[in-house]
Structures are given as C-alpha cells and as structure tokens.
C-alpha cells in the first residue's frame, strides 16, 4: 500500500447530498457483491430517510485538490448511526481508483476523531473478502457471525 499523496479531512454531508451519497452507495453495493437490488432513486429515498433519522453521513475529502472551483475532491463517505453504543458504521466507501493509497485508514482515524469515540461497530458481508481483510488490517475483531436461512421453494 502506498502512502497517501495528500492530507484528507472529513466534512458532514447534508440532506441535499442524498442523491450523491446514493450514487456512491450503489458502487459500494456492487463492490460488496451485495444482493440489494435497489435503484439509485430508491437508494436516494432510503438515504434521505437515514439522514432525516438517526444517521449522519460524512465525506472524506482531499484537502489539497480542488475540483469544480472551490469544492474539495470527494474520496469517499461514511454513514454512521451515532445513537447506538458503540456507534454503528453502516457504510464506508472509498472510490475504487483511490483505494490502496492509505485513504481508508486515514479516513477511519479522522472519522473516529470527529465522532469523539474509540469504539465503532461495522458489519462485513461474508463474501466480501477485500472488506474483511481491510477491517482486520485495522485491528477490528470479529464479535459475531450473522447467518441467514432461506427455504428453497
């Protein structure tokens, strides 16, 4: 893994960012090989619901690179439920072309600082080997196995 070329920061997303977050969530669903069939419109509606409820979204941005004028380049995002104890990290995403540069680890550190916590929970899909390897490399420890039965018809 190469070291980050830049310093990142975290900025809160707003309800106005729901569609942008949904587009990123769609990529995350694809990367995880998740069976979620939702369209971007459905994901936007769901994201709006999350952001209107107990969830907050946080963007990971490149502090140095400016795109579209004064806006900072988005490297990824996280969706967290701050009402749970420990805080629940529902979604965590770094753009595909920005991975393996150290941004994920740097983002997690900044995210924990911004949330003022040292403990956070996340679920990783059983088939998401890259995700499991990433989280285990950051010293996350397995605490349960979530399994499902579906009767064949």
Tens digit of each residue's pLDDT (9 = 90 or more) over 133-145: 999 999 999 999 8
Q: Would residue 22 count as lying in a domain?
A: yes
Q: Would residue 146 count as lying in a domain?
A: no
Which residue from 87, 90, 91 is spatially nearest to 76, judged by alpha carbons? Answer: 91
Q: Would residue 150 count as lying in a domain?
A: no
Q: What is the mean pLDDT of residues 98-114?
A: 94
Contact 84, 49 (CB under 8 A): no
Q: Would residue 50 count as lying in a domain?
A: yes
Q: Would residue 106 count as lying in a domain?
A: yes
CATH of the domain at 109: 3.40.630.30
Question: In this prediction, what percent of the chain has a pLDDT beyond 90?
Answer: 71
Structurally, the chain folds into a number of domains equal to 1
Q: Would residue 1 count as lying in a domain?
A: no
Q: Would residue 2 count as lying in a domain?
A: no
pLDDT tops 90 at residue 16: yes
Range of the domain at 63: 8-137
pTM exceeding 0.85: yes
């Amino acid at each position: 893994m190469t070291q980050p070329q830049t310093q990142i920061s975290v900025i809160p997303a707003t309800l106005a960012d729901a569609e942008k977050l949904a587009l990123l969530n769609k990529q995350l669903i694809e990367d995880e090989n998740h069976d979620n069939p939702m369209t971007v419109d459905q994901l936007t509606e769901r994201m709006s619901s999350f952001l209107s409820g107990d969830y907050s979204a946080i963007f990971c941005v490149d502090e140095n690179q400016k795109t579209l004028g004064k806006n900072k380049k988005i490297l990824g995002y996280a969706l967290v439920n701050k009402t749970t104890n420990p805080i629940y990290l529902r979604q965590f995403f770094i753009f595909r072309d920005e991975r393996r540069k150290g941004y994920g680890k740097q983002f997690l550190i900044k995210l924990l600082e911004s949330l003022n916590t040292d403990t956070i929970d996340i679920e990783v899909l059983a088939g998401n080997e890259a995700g499991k390897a990433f989280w285990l490399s950051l010293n996350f420890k397995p605490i349960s196995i979530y399994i499902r039965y579906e009767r064949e018809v």
